[in-house]
Structure 1
Amino acid sequence: MSITFKRFIEHFKGKTENVYLDRNNEDIKFDDAKLITQNQIDYCENFIYICKTSMLQEKIRNKENISLILINDNKTCIENFFRKSANIIEIKENEDIFQIYNEIREIFYEDIQIANDSAILLKASILENGIDNIVTLASNILKNPIIVIDSSFKILTYSNKEDILDPYWRKNITKRYCSYEFIVGFKNMKRKNKNIKDDEPYEFTCTESSILKLISGVKVNNKHIASVIVLECKKKFSPRDKEILALTSRIIAQEMKKNSFYRNANDVGYEGLICDILDGILVNKEDIKERIKSANIKFSKNLSVFAFNISNYNYKNKYLGYLTDNFNYTFPIKDPIYYNDKVIIIEETGAFTNSTKVDKKIKDFLISNNIYVGISKEFSDISEAKKYYIQAVKALDIGKILNSKNNSTFYSLIQLYDLLGSYNTLDYKDFYSPHLIKLKQYDNKKHTDLYKTLFIYLKNNQSMEKTSEELFIHRNTTRYRIKRIVELVNIDFSNIEEVLNIYMSYKITDYLKKTSSMF
């Protein structure tokens, strides 16, 4: 039995006037409940007793380690009545004593049911009947359908499909994958609610599926690897459901722990391979070749990793499954993988990009859905995918610092900034060219704009026309400014080393300024 006094406090909180706790005995577990009668003589420590205060006898005042639920029908000062510490819940005087007693009996009955149901689940685990059988048993006990998803939101298994009445989840099961709308909503909910713990069941609803869900995390070696979802389809959730679900999650964790390469039957190939490489489970090239061969997977010789950040996706006013459908339409070549809060695609370098530019179709897709992508450098050996995945993620992060309006960032264009990021003590002032310092000082004194003009001029390959267009000034004004810059700092624009030095000084100081302002 696992019924504590705190459980009664929680159950009767809407009917309670006061609670008195014996701090030395508040964690006691109860075996049964009794109504106090006129002839009551003995009181057991592991029983909870129910009565009206008008029926209390003098001899009970000195009883130790007693736990009571009292309806105060005669205005007794309970705190002064008992000479010894006791656990007491004082119920409002208008409550029916028999109703209170029946509710307590229901709690004990429910606890017995939980014990019996737990025994059934534990027996299935001992007999090693597998996760599918455990999920079916748990679903029968909870009288609601269950779905198990892994940390990449792939559906691993589920109970009877006929019990899943929600069209949204029936569609997810058909695709064997949660929609990106659900993923975004789920992640946002967890990010906002810091009190949620993976190993404690919690309730969740989302805009895509209004049906209430009970979710519990599955952990192996303290790492979250899956979630068990119960859908409130056939029966309303009860308090006992959380206990059964928590036990189910622990049993599933033990089953998954037996096989570190556990994957759904539909996932023995591409996704399983990529996840294992990114997780560092697969590192040996021969093992990787064997997995590729057995799964009959073919990879191009010119690959890139595309890492998409969908956390800012706004799904309002869009139909159910819009983002998933558009991902499949825009990137039809390979199934995307959801990994570490990002959508990952590994594909031939030229499939979606041209040099260091994304195709217009991709660009429009990113902008219209507020999605950002980081793109790695090209590689040919899939065993090195983890290295290039890291590049793609860094491109995402650095791209956000450099220009939050640009939805795509190539690692090849920001590699220098990644190098700078490995030095924590860099001060952007150390990279200022003396020429730029002088221009800054002149601008501050004369209220001119030579510092910015020089940067735009160098960025546009020393083109007067393009510089003028970008600055919205006349070409003669640009020409005058460049002449004044030469007079002030004596720059030789024909010296490529000097020009490169100044341009890189601009870029590095700008980046380090932005990063320093973030911390």
Structure 2
Amino acid sequence: MNLNMHIILDELKPFNPRAKLDESIELYLKQARIMKGVSQLLSRDYVYVTEAGNLKDGTSEFPARDANIVCVGPLDGKRFDELPCNLINIDAALDLPEVFNILQDIFEKYAAWNRQMIEAVIKDEPLQKIFEIGASALENPIALFDASLALIMTAGKLPENYQGTIWEEVIRYGYSPVENLPFQERKRISELIRTKNEPFFYKSDPSDRYTQMIAGLSIDGKHFGTFGLIDIDKPFTLGQLSLVYHLKNVMELAISKNREITDITEESCYFIERLINGFEVEKKVVEYHLKKRKWSIEDSFYILNFSSPEESLDEKLFKTYMYRIKKLTERAVIFTYENSIIAVLRERDYSLDDPAFLQELDDLLSRIGIKCGISLKFYNFMSIKYPYIQSKIAIMEGVKKDPHKLRYYFRDYYIDHIMNSLDNSTSLKSLCHPQVLKLKEYDKINNTEYVRCLFTYLQNGLNISQTARKLFIHRNTLIYRLNRITEIMEMDLRREEELFHLLFSCLIAEYLF
């Protein structure tokens, strides 16, 4: 395999070299050659070994800017800085033939490493074995994640002191904790992983103890997964970055050939999307798909709508969040729709009254920083369009009213939605009984709660005892208040034709004021 000067520099570190190199991690050096003189035409494809004396002041020419040179012996610092090429200087008790042989050994070492990986690919060896061969040249353990950042495999030995590092969360949860980053930073890193061909170093904060090395993998032009490392054992170098770049290319070849690992995919949910869109789907088609899951059309279901109201999610974040949601709700139908992740849960599998399940759901929502809208329970899968709308409304209304919450139930925001919808189409005050508005004005001036009292009385079917219990007041106190309300409103509260208008008007008054 080809090398570069950064890999060679790492291998020469026992000899305390000094170096002046560009930052390219391209692997272009084919072998080592002995340089016969500065005037020699030097190819960028080789590293040349020469004695430092050949580069001292007084030589008439500089080596070309893209030349790669290892010089042996003492070289003046000023002269070292003047030379425009990639330069490594070894001022040790070594002669030129010894250094040349060391370089030959370096090329052979990595050729053998690459040969071992390629032979394993050709023989269709397990991907884990290929990955471990690749990791043998690295100084830190490495992880391979799929497109959702779920952990596929690791290679290299983890040190005993990995607790407190990102490795602890990866091992515990089985995925990379991208949710620890702010939302915009997640999107930026996601875009870098998808578009940057070379691996790169990353720190979410300059004060972070460890640096991360990240590399995106693509198969047939499609993002497949990610390499992740931290400098937990030894500091990263550009030489190590170069080796990870080569390992990435080998693993892309191995995965495309092997197909042992497949990308996370969504279920076939076209029939659900058609139902949600209001298109007709034959009942027997729906029954066929549900039967494969041992579900029935008449089972009890909920829809959970996962989305980020503030930001739209890109493709990679969708996959990342889908994996986590699937891990929590393995028996649900999960798919993406209208920039949301939709989970259809059967009540028999998941109870929304189960505190343990709700705690796990809240933990997940808190970690990944998204919200969840929950529909009413529904009993006919063919009518899934309406609970989907409910789940969408729950998030829309819930975020406005209770932005701190993680879960929003449609039942809790039903009235808010009705009022907002009516207010958008007409004036709510125009729908309110004028005597209820008069009573509300009296409440404001006199610091009373007669509208609330009237509303509770109407809600409880004009039942004195039941209303008193609801308001936590004595029956006689309630009778007194109702008499005062009748006096203020100047109307009979028991007129049947007025009851709904009064009830709805109380609701509007409580909502508006």
Q: How does 1:295-374 map to 2 (within 5 A)?
A: 295=292, 297-299=294-296, 301-307=298-304, 335=331, 344=343, 346-348=345-347, 352=351, 358=353, 374=373
Q: State how far apart, in whole Å, the 1-side matches of 2:508 and 2:90 are.
A: 77
**Residue of structure 2 in register with 1:402 after alignment:** 401
Q: State how far apart, in whole Å, the 2-side matches of 1:60 and 1:481 are.
A: 110
Q: Which has the higher contact order (CA 8 A, sep 6+)?
A: 2
Partner-residue secondary structure (3-state), 2:269: helix
Report the CA distance between 1:396 and its aligned residue.
Answer: 4.6
CA contact (8 A) 1:218 1:252 kept: no
- Does residue 501 of structure 2 align to residue 497 of structure 1? yes
**Residue of structure 2 in register with 1:61 after alignment:** 61
**One of 189, 196, 199 as aligned partner of 1:195:** 189
Partner-residue secondary structure (3-state), 1:30: coil
Larger Rg: 2
Identity %: 11
Amino acid of the residue matched to residue 347 of structure 1? R
**Residue of structure 2 in register with 1:142 after alignment:** 135
**One of 36, 54, 76 as aligned partner of 2:78:** 76
Report the CA distance between 1:304 and its aligned residue.
Answer: 1.6
Deviations 1:161-181 (A, max 9, x none): xx9999x9xxxxxxxxx9994
Partner-residue secondary structure (3-state), 1:45: coil
CA contact (8 A) 1:305 1:388 kept: yes
Deviations 1:88-133 (A, max 9, x none): 4476989999899888667645653565356446646xxxx5xx84
Aligned residues: 432
**One of 262, 267, 281 as aligned partner of 1:275:** 267
Deviations 1:334-382 (A, max 9, x none): 74678779794621379635xxxx4667667767998775433445566
- Does residue 255 of structure 2 align to residue 252 of structure 1? yes
CA contact (8 A) 1:52 1:73 kept: no
Report the CA distance between 1:50 and its aligned residue.
Answer: 5.2
Partner-residue secondary structure (3-state), 1:48: strand
- Does residue 433 of structure 2 align to residue 433 of structure 1? no
Q: State how far apart, in whole Å, the 2-side matches of 1:483 and 1:101 are.
A: 106
CA contact (8 A) 1:136 1:159 kept: no
Q: State how far apart, in whole Å, the 1-side matches of 2:304 and 2:298 are.
A: 19
CA contact (8 A) 2:143 2:227 kept: yes
Amino acid of the residue matched to residue 61 of structure 2? R
* Distance 1:179-1:306 versus aligned 2 partners, 3 A rule: farther
* Distance 1:278-1:303 versus aligned 2 partners, 3 A rule: farther
Q: State how far apart, in whole Å, the 1-side matches of 2:273 and 2:254 are.
A: 23
**Residue of structure 2 in register with 1:171 after alignment:** none
Deviations 1:191-232 (A, max 9, x none): 555435444668999xxxxx9998765656876566678999
Unaligned residue ranges in structure 2 (runs of 5+): 163-169, 204-209, 276-280, 309-323, 461-466
**One of 79, 85, 88 as aligned partner of 1:87:** 85
Partner-residue secondary structure (3-state), 1:76: helix
Amino acid of the residue matched to residue 301 of structure 1? E
**Residue of structure 1 in register with 2:375 after alignment:** 376
Partner-residue secondary structure (3-state), 1:44: coil
Report the CA distance between 1:56 and its aligned residue.
Answer: 1.3
CA contact (8 A) 2:201 2:211 kept: yes
* Distance 1:203-1:90 versus aligned 2 partners, 3 A rule: closer
Backbone CA RMSD of aligned residues: 6.9
Report the CA distance between 1:248 and its aligned residue.
Answer: 1.8
**Residue of structure 2 in register with 1:30 after alignment:** 29
Amino acid of the residue matched to residue 429 of structure 2? S
* Distance 1:17-1:247 versus aligned 2 partners, 3 A rule: closer
Report the CA distance between 1:277 and its aligned residue.
Answer: 1.7
Unaligned residue ranges in structure 1 (runs of 5+): 169-177, 206-210, 265-271, 312-323, 511-519
Report the CA distance between 1:137 and its aligned residue.
Answer: 3.2
Deviations 1:306-344 (A, max 9, x none): 538799xxxxxxxxxxxx9xx98xx9xx74678779794
Q: How does 1:282-293 map to 2 (within 5 A)?
A: none
Q: State how far apart, in whole Å, the 2-side matches of 1:106 and 1:460 are.
A: 93
TM-score between the two structures when normalised by the length of structure 2: 0.53
